[in-house]
Amino acid sequence: MSQPKADLLALLTELSFERRHVVLSSGKTSDFYIDCKQTLLHPDGMALTGTVLVDAWQQQGFAIDAVGGPTLGADPMTCAFVLQARRRGLAVPGFFVRKEAKGHGTMAFIEGTRSVVAGATALMLEDVITTGASSVRAIGRLREAGLEVAALFCLVDRLDGGRQAIEEAGVPVTAMFTRDDFIRPNEVAR
């Protein structure tokens, strides 16, 4: 594991991981919660996230025209990626996918469309995937807008079937971390 990735895992563990009973957005219950926004909105967390995500993308070596994902979780990830890519001399514009179309102004589901146009190849980002339902919905919105989704990168895969659902929608998934990075194999976690 690279040093930036190890540092990001340590920060996620410190700021974002909690052992407690919680009802997830999917309706499932769990005995742990990972609130990635706590890390993503920390200066070191945002910087490390940008580094880890851009490193992973460059290691995989596929071309993209844009990067983004569902608001709110992917918003700071997108900003971190765009900035880190720019620091490396790469111009990759970002976008945000809304859950619902705006009720005023552009009435848009996708923000950033002046820089991201139909026909673009996108890397989608997610903070945490559980069932994959919100990711699959966002992929559908992007496809409706004429974008091709090349891959999805998430910070944490809870290992609850989300990867499979997303890959069944035709999008390969790369998780920077999984539940197993936070919970030892002999611990009970649902």
Is 189 inside any structural domain? no
Domain assignment present for residue 186? The answer is: no
> In this structure, is residue 50 part of a structural domain?
yes
| Domain contains 190 | no
Residue 133 domain boundaries: 3-181
Which pLDDT tens digit goes with each residue over 106-154? Answer: 657 888 878 888 899 999 999 999 999 999 999 999 999 999 999 999 9
Query: pTM score, two decimals?
Result: 0.92
* pLDDT surpasses 60 at 189: no
The answer to the question of residue 115 being in a domain is yes
Question: Does 157 map to a domain?
Answer: yes
- Complete DSSP assignment for 22-81: EE-TTS-EES-EE-HHHHHTSHHHHHHHHHHHHHHHHHHT---SEEEEETTTHHHHHHHH
Residue that wins the pLDDT comparison between 30 and 168: 168
Percent of the chain topping pLDDT 90: 79
SS3 121: strand
User: Is 188 a domain residue?
Assistant: no
Task: Report the mean per-residue pLDDT for the chain.
Answer: 92
CATH number for the domain spanning 35: value is 3.40.50.2020
Please indicate, yes or no, if residue 112 is contained in any of the structural domains.
yes
Q: Per the structure, how many domains does the chain have?
A: 1
| pLDDT tens-digit map of 33-53 | 999 999 999 999 999 999 999
